[in-house]
Structure 1
Amino acid sequence: MRMRQVHLDFHTSEAIHPIGTRFSKEQFQQALKLGHVDSITVFSKCHHGWAYHPSEANVTHPGLSFDLLGAMIEAAHEIGVRTPVYLSAGLDERLAVRHPEWLIRERFSREGDLFTPGYHQLCLNTPYLDILLSQIEEVAARYDADGIFLDIVGVRECYCATCVAAAREQGIDPRDKSAMRPLWEQTYANYTSRVKETVHRHKPGLPIFHNGGHIRRGRRDLAHMNSHLELESLPTGGWGYDHFPLSARYAQTLGMPFLGMTGKFHTTWGEFGGYKHPNALRYEAALSLANGAACSIGDQLHPLGAMDEATYRLIGAAYAEVEAKEAWCRDAVNVADVALLSVEAAGTHQATGGHDSFTGDPDAGAVRMLLEGHILFDVVDLEADFSPYAVLILPDRIRVNDAILAKLDSFLAGGGRILATGESGLKPDGSEFAIDLGVRHAGVNPFRPDYYHPQHPLASLQESAFIFYSEGQKVTLAEGGTELGKRENPYFNRDAFTFCSHQHTPNSGEYGGPGMVEHANGIYIAWNVFEDYASKGSLVLKETVLYALNRLLPEKTLRTNLPAQGVTTVQHQPDQKRYVHHSLYASPVKRGRNIEVIEDLLPIRGTTVELRISEPVTGVYLAPHMTPIDFRQQDGLVTYELPEWQCHQMVVLEYGQPEGN
């Protein structure tokens, strides 16, 4: 997979003409060189439904007088740049207005003004699929494409006439959503299968990616309908800076090539004249590298066809650094002490895309804590092998059925330990705990919010009765359990007849049972602390969880004094016989409404590191400049200090001769 990619949109209305008149092979090539780009996804068909080349399977944009797709492919290939080809699959406004019966139909209509501008999604269970396949085949057969990128697709709920008729023919009641879901799943599986057959008939093995804006954790079957993964995650476009690390830490466990896709835009896709600060792209590209991903940056071509040089200067500032670093980032395996079992993967939380708010998402809250606590982790699903990890986190809402219990028993028997929170660890009916964590279940706690009083000083906040906002479980101590902190009840719940002060009732000092309990199998915390952190971001929540993890991980692989906003990972390149320790630091700020912006990158001084590596280390240096740094290794613990750095620093630890030397 190429490491420095651009995703070039071109969604151009038929009301604009002529188009493409300022396209120049030389100027196109100059922009790619300026941007240090080695792959660019170019376009066959846009959301408006037009083709940008001569076509029998589609209609060429009425303002275009030449083969723009062919010209871009020729220009890019001439300078060694690859060209995957984009086709809008889910959206085709030209056909949508001609065949409204092919549109996805929701059961409960939420349509607004008929004349509100925007696109309409087509159902892939209608005759539209055959038209789309002919458009894809035309590209595969006629053009030297280096891949096929299909957009706005996924398993969709649909009650169009075709779907309802198909359901009734199969004896399915269309009013039963659960009965309809297999039909929707089959519609998508049929589409991906036929696309693969169509493309590989002409070009066996050509990469294919189906973009739905979110890689669903726990749906490996959907992931493997692609040849690789592209993690669409524009921080300023609604995803925020939490989304990519969460998605990447899951994607890397799947063993598939993947890239992180951000954008050059100040906001999101479709923005003309919007630019983020070069430092933001530098950080976002480095974040991809630190998580084992290649890089992709979204752009949109002007209707006249000239590449925007300001954009490629912006991209080039990031990609010049990626080009220098990529040798230390290829074919890397993440090093992790902790596995976070995703709530989405367990089927409790349904995320439909990056634009969804992460407020209240236990997965997002947990990842935020782990990043800020500099814990090395993976995000895993129920198919994952838990045995390589020292600790498994069951966040907030992981109830344990027989299949999960068998995996947990095996994990515990192998010496692993569990951190469970909230209702995690309970049997599916919520009656009692399926795993022994030193507590007995006594029902959902009747007070919300209530208070947690640790029996140990927290890192910053020391000791007090701390407000916890989320739902809690009432538990009693069982054999083998040791109370690490207690619950304190408020005087009463707040309602119309009993309320006190502006927000919630103060703590009464009354003992409400254990709040955090340690057992030989792990630690249990009695609140949904991760969704609470995703919603409120309260420091006490993070310090409580990190206290628990530090008890469960007495010999962590990594310890560092990097500030909380810093991100750190360790990637292993086994073929090269080296570990690469990544440190990143930027501080996003909010500007406007829900837009996180990175502008200033402050120098970081005095970063100390302790890294536990069993192999005898022969050399430590800073990449890409190959500057040696002093280190010490004793009993497997390597210690060193980074000289002053900014944005992203890689430290390479070599332990032997690479394969082939």
Structure 2
Amino acid sequence: MRFRQVHLDFHTSEAIEGIGQSFSKQQFQDMLKLGHVDSITVFAKCHHGWAYHPSSANETHPHLSFDLLGAQIEAAHEIGVKTPVYLSAGLDEKLARRHPEWLIRDQQERISWVSDFMTPGYHQFCMNTLYLDLLAAQVHEVVAHYDADGIFLDIVGVRECYCQFCVAEIRRRGSDPRCEEDMKVMWEETYANYANRMNETVHALKPGLPVFHNSSHVSRGRRDLVHLNTHLELESLPTGGWGYDHFPLSARYAQGLGVDFQGMTGKFHLSWGEFGGFKHPNALRYETALSLANGARCSIGDQLHPAGMMDPATYSLIGEAYREVEAKEQWCRDAVSIADVALLSAEAAGHSFGRPEADLGAGDTGAVRILLEGHYLFDVVDTESDWSSYKVMILPDSIAVTEPLKAKLNVFLESGGKVLATGRSGLAPDGSRFELELGAVWQDNSSFKPSYMRPEFELPSLRGSSFVVYTEGQDVTLAPNGVQLAQRENPYFNRDLFTFSSHQHTPSNLKEAGPGMTEGPNGIYITWNLFEDYALKGSLPVKEMVKYALDRLLASATAAPAGSDGPDGSDRSDKLEGSGDSDDSGGSGGKTIEVNLPAQGIVTLQQQNADNRWVAHLLYGPPVRRGQNVEVIEDLPVLADTRLSAAVTEEVKQVYLAPQGTSLPFRQNRGIVTCSIPAWSCHQMVVLQF
């Protein structure tokens, strides 16, 4: 995969004339050069259903007079730019009006995305209909006739559908559409059949040609769906509803899946299809750097004007970011993550006590926010991941410990790892007991919400107090081998019709109601859904209590972090000092990397085995709120006096800034490398060359 891709949409109504009339091969090439673009996804078919090339499998846009797809591929290839080809798979508006019986239906026969044909918008197709044959013919035609560098199929995934084709199929199988479990099996099979059909169509003509099926979300724990693709493109437009913490959550999972992947953002101020909307160049600089820091290649979304001329302002904007990416690529190729902490995704865990998917997402999101703001090196994992390199495993809020999960956790614990569990995590699937030794004995779900935590340690930013936690909690007692780290306090009563006090919730009655945080041989348990709480409320005490628990566990864990052995497999923790004269005071305190970044700063650590080096990525681009709930990045403050320390097990030969190549003074003593980083903004790579 290339590092600097543009995803070029062209969803163009038949009501617009003069399609492509201003297209110029030279201008197209000039804009790609201006944007430092090395790959561009061009379009064979749009959401309106039209083809942008001569077609017997589809219909060419009625106002297009030439082969626009062929012209774009020829122009791009002439200057060494790759051209994956886009086809809208799930949407085809011209066909939707001719064959509405092929559309996805709910149980009330309503259609999606828009609910009728009197509202502007698109309608989604069911792949359990004859539409699948038409789509396969369209894909075959493109692959057979054009020198595509890949196929991108959009708006697909496992879909709920009660169209009459699906109803007839489930009855043919001897079941009933009212049996949801059987319907779910069929919906899964429908998507797998679609994806395999498209893959076979492509690879029968061009074996190995990249194919990606875009559903806008990579489901954590669904490796079967991931591997229907040759690679991943993580759609994550921060201002388009995803937010700035969505991509790190997706990327920290995707990097461990063993497939190449891109981070896809957009040039738009808001989201797709926004003509005349632009984000600040600094936002694109940050977003592309965030992709690199997480082991991803980059993709930026654009939409071509119906006249076919590439917009100079857009490609100047893209060029601001991609010029920097181009200079950084050699320190980002073939990189693997180094992480101390693994977050077992609640979405991927397989048993979450029947909680709604939205609640599970909140737990994952809150955990990632705390890990980012606490500057922890972390990966997001599922039950199939290799856990052997991590020191601490987080079980967020509602992960039941099934027998297979218990067996895997036992191996992790026996190797020296520790667990941090919150809420109902750590309990058996029936919710009756803990399956891990976390210092607590479960009693019942708490009847109070919210309730209060009083730590038996002082938070870094606050004096001792009773701190409110808004989400569900559990009543526990202290196990014989447990240590209490915080107590739980209840309010006088829950807020109700005849029992309420003040404007919001009732204050703590200041009486101990049992443990709120415990520690046992296997790790630490906190009785509330703290990660969901942080996702919804963003409470400072919640974050600092989680950080206390993580730091305590990292200090006590004996599991070795990834990359801890030398090339020959030997431990190298006793090497002599490296060159330089920087102070080595401090130490890593259980973390592989320590940095003094602001809360909105991000640190990741990538290892390039072929080059025998670590690359630490430092990022800082604080979002601000504009308009109604729109986060944007505009200013990129300069950070000075950044200090970095790294726990290493090899002798470090050189520490330098990339891509600048500037050597940094450093000190290596007793396995800790320390250095100071000159003033920087947005993104700085620090290379530890062994």
TM-score by length of 2: 0.93
Q: Is the 8 A contact 1:609 1:639 kept in 2?
A: yes
**Counterpart pick for 1:181 among 178, 181, 184:** 184
Residue identity opposite 1:31 in structure 2: M
Partner of 1:430: 431
Structure 2 counterpart of 1:169, which letter? R
Does the 8 A contact of 1:238 with 1:594 survive in 2?
Answer: no
Q: Does 1:143 pair with 2:178?
A: no
Q: Secondary structure at the match of 1:644?
A: coil
Matched, 1:321 2:360: no
Q: What is the number of equivalent residue pairs in this alignment? A: 650
Asked whether the 8 Å contact 2:351–2:400 carries over to 1, the reply is no
After the TM superposition, which residues 345-384 of structure 1 pair with which residues of structure 2 at under 5 Å, given as runs? 345-347=348-350, 361-384=362-385
Distance 1:170 1:431 in 2: 39
Matches within 5 A, 1:376-415: 376-415=377-416
Shift of 1:110: 5.5
The 4+ residue runs of structure 1 with deviation greater than 6 A are 356-360
- Whichever residue aligns with residue 275 of structure 1, its letter is F
1:375-409, Cα deviation, whole Å (9 max, x unpaired): 10000001112221110000001011111111111
Task: Find the aligned partners of 1:404 and 1:129 in 2 and give their Cα distance.
Answer: 39
Measure the CA separation in 2 of the matches of 1:225 and 1:247: 17
Q: CA deviation at 1:414?
A: 1.2
Using the TM superposition, give the Cα deviation of residue 447 of structure 1 relative to its aligned residue in structure 2, in angstroms.
1.0
Determine if the alignment matches structure 1 residue 533 to structure 2 residue 534. yes
> Is the partner of 2:368 in helix, strand or coil?
helix
Aligned equivalents of 1:91 and 1:173: distance in 2?
Answer: 28
- Structure 2 CA distance for aligned equivalents of residues 207 and 462 of structure 1: 56
Aligned letter for 2:528? W
Where 1:123 maps in the other structure, the secondary structure is: coil
Aligned to 1:659: none
Which deviates further from its counterpart, 178-187 or 277-286? 178-187
- 1:199 counterpart residue number: 202
Where 1:198 maps in the other structure, the secondary structure is helix
Q: Report the equivalent of 2:233.
A: 230
Alignment RMSD: 1.3
* Percent identity of equivalent pairs: 66
1:316 & 1:170 partners in 2: Cα distance? 55
Distance 1:7 1:468 in 2: 43
1:646 to 681, 684, 687: 681
Distance 2:432 2:490 in 1: 23
Q: Secondary structure at the match of 2:245?
A: helix
Paired residue for 1:482? 483
Given that residues 346 and 381 in structure 1 are in contact (C-alpha distance below 8 angstroms), is that contact kept between their aligned partners in structure 2?
yes
Q: Tell me, in whole angstroms, the C-alpha distance in 1 between the residues paired with 2:673 and 2:181.
A: 54
TM-aligned CA deviation for residue 360 of structure 1: 6.7
Of 596, 601, 609, the residue aligned with 1:574 is: 609
Paired position in structure 2 for 1:154? 157
Q: Which residue of 1 is the match for residue 558 of structure 2?
A: none
What is the CA–CA distance in structure 2 between the aligned matches of 1:114 and 1:220, rounded to whole Å? 37
Query: How do 1:224-623 and structure 2 match up within 5 A?
Result: 224-347=227-350, 361-554=362-555, 555-623=590-658
Q: Give the distance between the partners of 1:360 and 1:204, measured in 2 at CA.
A: 37
Residues 438-486 of structure 1: CA deviation (Å, up to 9, x unaligned): 1100100111101100001011113111001110010000021000000
Q: Secondary structure at the match of 2:660?
A: coil
Q: Indicate how the Cα distance of structure 1 residues 575 and 199 shifts in structure 2: closer, same or farther if over 3 A, else same.
A: same
* Structure 2 runs not aligned, ≥5 long: 556-589
| 1:71 corresponds to | 71
Instruction: Give the match's secondary structure for 1:583.
Output: strand
TM-aligned CA deviation for residue 32 of structure 1: 0.2
Change (3 A) 1:106 1:153: same
* Residue equivalent to 2:175: 172
Residues 358 and 364 in structure 1, CA contact (< 8 A), matched pair in contact too: no
Per-residue deviation at 1:371?
0.2
Are positions 1:7 and 2:7 aligned together? yes
Question: How much has 1:357 moved relative to structure 2?
Answer: 8.0
Amino acid in structure 2 at the alignment position of 1:5: Q
1:81 aligns with 2:84: no
Structure 1 gap segments, 5+ residues each: 351-355, 656-661
For 1:279, give the aligned amino acid: N
Whole-angstrom distance in 1 between the partners of 2:438 and 2:322: 49
Q: Alpha-carbon deviation of 1:50? A: 0.1
2:669 to 618, 625, 634: 634
Name the CA shift for 1:477/1:639 in 2 (closer, same or farther; >3 Å). Answer: same
Conserved? CA contact 1:332–1:571, under 8 Å: yes
Q: Deviations over 1:82-133 (max 9, x none)?
A: 0000000000011110000000011245665641100000001100000000
- Displacement of 1:301 in angstroms is 0.1
Alpha-carbon spacing, 1:328–1:349, altered in 2? closer, same or farther (3 Å): farther
Amino acid at match of 1:17: E
| 1:176 CA displacement | 1.4
Q: Matches of 1:358 and 1:282 in 2, distance apart?
A: 32
**2:119 alignment partner, one of 116, 123, 128:** 116
Secondary structure at 1:513's aligned position in 2? Answer: strand
1:349 is displaced (CA, Å) by 7.3
Amino acid at match of 2:248: P
Residues 256, 481 of structure 1: alpha-carbon distance in 2 compared, 3 angstrom cutoff: same
Q: Is the 8 A contact 1:360 1:534 kept in 2?
A: no
Match of 1:63, SS? coil
Q: CA deviation at 1:500?
A: 0.5
Instruction: State the alpha-carbon separation in 2 of the partners of residues 220 and 441 from structure 1.
Output: 33
Q: 1:347, CA displacement in angstroms?
A: 3.6
In the alignment, is the contact (CA less than 8 A) between 1:20 and 1:68 conserved in 2? yes
Question: Which aligned pairs between 1:35-114 and structure 2 lie closer than 5 A?
Answer: 35-108=35-108, 112=115, 114=117
Q: Secondary structure at the match of 2:244?
A: helix
Report the alpha carbon displacement of residue 653 of structure 1 after superposing the two structures with TM. Answer: 0.7
CA offset at residue 417 of structure 1? Answer: 0.5
- Tell me: CA distance 1:635–1:280, structure 2 relative to 1, closer, same or farther (3 Å): same
- Partner of 1:94, secondary structure, is helix
Q: Is the 8 A contact 1:395 1:424 kept in 2?
A: yes
The CA deviation at 1:188 is 0.7
Alpha-carbon separation, structure 2, partners of 1:110 and 1:163? 14
* Aligned amino acid, residue 223 of structure 1: V
Conservation of the 8 A alpha-carbon contact between 1:372 and 1:567? yes
